[in-house]
Structure 1
Amino acid sequence: MLALPTHYIAGLNVLVRSFAAGVDPVELEGGPFTAARFVDAARRLGIPERLVALVPAQLATLLDDRNALTELRRFQAVLVGGQATPATLAAQAADAGVRLVRSYGSSETSGGCVYDGRPVGGATVRVEDGEVWLGGPSLAEGYLGDPGLTAERFVMHGGARWFRTADGGSLRDGMLTVTGRRDDVLISGGVKVALAEIERVLREQPGLQDAVVVAAPDPRWGETPVAFTAGYADTQAAIAAVGAELGAAARPARLVHLDALPELPSGKPDRRALAELARG
């Protein structure tokens, strides 16, 4: 099933996989992603070997819809990526009988090349000074018209070519754990705070699986985290949970409830739009 835009690498890969498998992909019809359109497309698949790639926000939408969940359980695998999948969302999917496969990669690696923490195909992984590096035959040649950035991000090491992802992570017994963007850090009162870690804690709280955290200027602390959600939760309890696990500097100054989070065409949260709201 094609549930992602084809001008993004994850959607393009659905077409490539379909071509390799010798089948025609079934596309969602009628506009933006909804549970009802997913159900309609699933019923048009007509084959037992069902595969679909989703982003976490799409997965959450389907898990909350009874008819969509019934169809989702019939898929051989549900590949989820594009951003970190909250542990609570993954657990909810597993409890519901959904066969989830977590994907990690980027456009520079021709899409997901690490599944459930393990490299697939000819992909290779290493972690250097806390940064995830990816290697293998699927790497891009570089950035068009930008030799400086190409030289910075694509490097030779140990006789092999690697892509420096700028993601933080660890590698233990061949299993990769990604902790978030190394450059996605604010400094509040002189203390470095990783926005991805705040999101992780918030998304583990009831009703906050969609939480997104951005940095906002603060006259006293320099920067401070601001969280957004379209869900409903005990705001004070959620903020207190962040402080208890990550320290006072990580506590969101605000937890803002919106009718809907702004999204990019890929289905990912529009962090730039949210940052503008946080500054407003």
Structure 2
Amino acid sequence: MKLEPVVGDDPREILRGLRGALHGAGPALGLGLVSAFPAEVRAGTAVVVTTSGSTGVPKSVVLSRDALTASAMATADRLGEGAWLLALPATYVAGLQVLVRSIVADREPAVMAGAFTPQAFAATALMMASSEHGRRIPTFTSLVPAQLAKLLDAAAHDSPVLTALRSFEAILVGGQALPPATLERAEAAGARIVRTYGSTETSGGCVYDGVPLRGVALRVARGEVQVSGPTLADGYLESEELTDAAFLRDADGTRWYRTGDAGLVDDGVLRVHGRIDNVIVSGGVNVSLDRVEAIVRTVPGLASSVVVGIPDERWGEASVIVAARGEALRRSESVQLEEARAAVKEGIGAHARPSRLVLVDELEALPSGKPDREAIRRAVIALR
């Protein structure tokens, strides 16, 4: 089957090609780093998504028509059908799935033009209002936490933005953990938030508010969250070794994707604790940076901060809080650091306390909207 690389990130161009790929009438699409793509892929492939992620290691994930469609149908089963607004890059799986859901529902998606701003988002959202047979058509969108935070900041003094937030039947938020403070603000503003968990390898979000979508199964093996079901990717392009390491097959033939996340399933609800490999060894003790970050984000003024690990002469490695200056300077830097250290000491232990608080004008982010943790870490090291 032919693979056609898509140069650029024009959502309308991707939408046109995606229609053909999902219906089997056109070639599979190659999104992301296209230079190394081969000319042919296996039959049934719809899209190959190449993304560097927050670690900077490129991976080309092979997604079939069946997997993408199963994901879209499972979302409709959970949320209901309606119209979707694209506010994320279509070259990333969360944005791609907005287009897939629109195609499956046979509706034209609303596409936000240009850079993401609260005003542009509101203008696009408020133009979506429509009805069918006298019934309002529900609207949906998908965001990352940083976008939601920007919208909430603007909604405090911009009534169209607030109206837009309230207009959606559901706003999916994923890509990274949603800070509890941001969720509370959103709910207080009247926005209906659905927290999603998933990855490109699962065709996007496959667990909503901790509960797997129809057909998706979860298990925790040796502390690692694993996922099975019809939404799983076929594997990684031209990398059997990487595919075999990430996708397991049971004796009964069931395929499982190893997420690399630590977590547990409590009474049917998934609780993710962070990345298994996002750990430093400080003073001979393992410290989960994700656990530290989750606690730090409960401190007023640090809700969107990022915690990274850096080399430390005394302890071997140490954690550092990095926060945007505009948000963090609600109190003095030293006070916030001490509050964060006290909270981490109480929640984890004294050994896990962050060593520093670094303020920056803006946190570096990937095109997907996620924090670029590797770039942030390098910048902190360069400050020393």
- Counterpart-to-counterpart distance in 1, 2:238 and 2:351: 40
Letter in 2 for 1:152: A
Change over 3 Å in CA distance of 1:229–1:21 after alignment to 2:
same
Q: 1: CA distance between counterparts of 2:239 and 2:102? A: 33
* CA distance, structure 2, for counterparts of residue 45 and residue 253 of structure 1: 48
1:51 corresponds in structure 2 to 140
Per-residue CA deviations over 1:37-77 (Å, capped at 9, x if unaligned) read 11111122123411010001111111111232221011100
Q: TM-score scaled by structure 2?
A: 0.71
Q: Which residue of 2 aligns with 1:99?
A: 192
Amino acid at match of 1:101: V
Counterparts of 1:69 and 1:87, CA distance in 2: 20
Report deviation, 1:268. Answer: 0.5
Normalising by structure 1, what TM-score? 0.96
How far the C-alpha of 1:236 sits from its partner, in A, is: 2.1
Paired residue type of 1:97: G
Q: How far is the alpha carbon of 1:120 from its aligned partner?
A: 0.5
Pairwise CA RMSD: 1.2
Aligned residues: 279
Deviation at 1:83, TM superposition (A): 0.5
For the residue of structure 2 that corresponds to 1:183, the secondary structure is coil
Give the AA of the match of 2:256.
W
The equivalent of 1:81 in structure 2 is: 174
- Once the two structures are superposed, residues 136-189 of structure 1 have per-residue CA deviations (whole angstroms, 9 ceiling, x without a partner) of 011111111221121111001252110010100101211111111001111100
Cα distance in structure 2, aligned partners of 1:247 and 1:71 = 42
- Separation in structure 2 between the aligned mates of residue 105 and residue 133 of structure 1, nearest angstrom: 11
Aligned counterparts, 1:146-225, within 5 A: 146-157=239-250, 159=252, 160-225=254-319
Q: What one-letter code is carried by the residue in structure 2 that aligns with 1:222?
A: G
Where do 5+ consecutive residues of structure 1 fail to align?
A: none
Superposition pairs of residues 19-168 of structure 1, within 5 angstroms: 19-31=103-115, 33-47=116-130, 48-66=137-155, 67=158, 68-157=161-250, 159=252, 160-168=254-262
Alpha-carbon offset, residue 121 of structure 1? 2.2
Where does structure 2 lack aligned partners over 5 or more consecutive residues? 1-84, 131-136
**Shift, 1:190, TM fit:** 0.8
Query: 1:237-274: per-residue Cα shift (whole Å, max 9, x none)?
Result: 12221222221222111111111111110001111111
**Which residue of the partner structure matches residue 26 of structure 2?**
none
Q: What secondary structure is seen at the aligned counterpart in 1 of 2:344?
A: helix
Structure 2 residue aligned with 1:14: 98
CA distance in structure 2 between the aligned counterparts of 1:88 and 1:40, rounded to whole angstroms: 26
> Which deviates more, 248-257 or 174-183?
248-257
Equivalent-residue separation in structure 2 for 1:22 and 1:141 (angstroms): 26
Alpha-carbon offset, residue 95 of structure 1: 2.1
The secondary structure found in structure 1 opposite 2:261 is strand
Overall identity of the aligned pairs, in %: 49
Runs of 4+ in 1 over 4 A off after TM superposition: none
Q: 1:14: how far off?
A: 0.2
Mapped to 2, the partners of 1:157 and 1:204 lie a distance apart of 40
